[in-house]
Amino acid sequence: MPLTLSAARMLRNGGIDACAALNSALIDALTELPADLHKEAKLSIGRAMAAVLDETVNKAVAAFPELEPDEKTWLEVVKSQARKRATE
């Protein structure tokens, strides 16, 4: 899929945001699940996160390597997307 830089950045940021949301959901779910179900929940969320990353962040970075997120970028995107949703 041909992407513009702007579209690739939005795709990357959406993927990062989705993974952050999945991670939060997992953390919350683990507090409610019996310990014997933790591994299954972690594997399920891990597979979902891998699919999200493959279809968003990895495609954006393949098109524009300069969009490769480091830890600082990852945190900035998560905070920015959360603020954006909170004000919509």
Residue ranges covered by each domain of the chain: 23-83
User: What is the per-residue pLDDT across 25-84, written as a single tens digit (0 to 9) for each?
Assistant: 999 999 999 999 999 999 999 999 999 999 999 999 999 999 999 999 999 999 999 898
Query: Coil, strand, or helix at residue 2?
Result: coil
Q: What is the pTM of this model?
A: 0.90
In the chain, alpha helices (H): 5-32, 38-55, 57-63, 71-87
* CA distances, 59 to each of 2, 4, 22, 62 (Å): 10, 12, 19, 5
The span from the CA of 21 to the CA of 65, in Å, is: 24
Q: Identify the band that residue 1 occupies on the pLDDT scale cut at 50, 70 and 90.
A: confident
User: What is the per-residue pLDDT across 6-32, written as a single tens digit (0 to 9) for each?
Assistant: 999 999 999 999 999 999 999 999 999
pLDDT at 56: 97
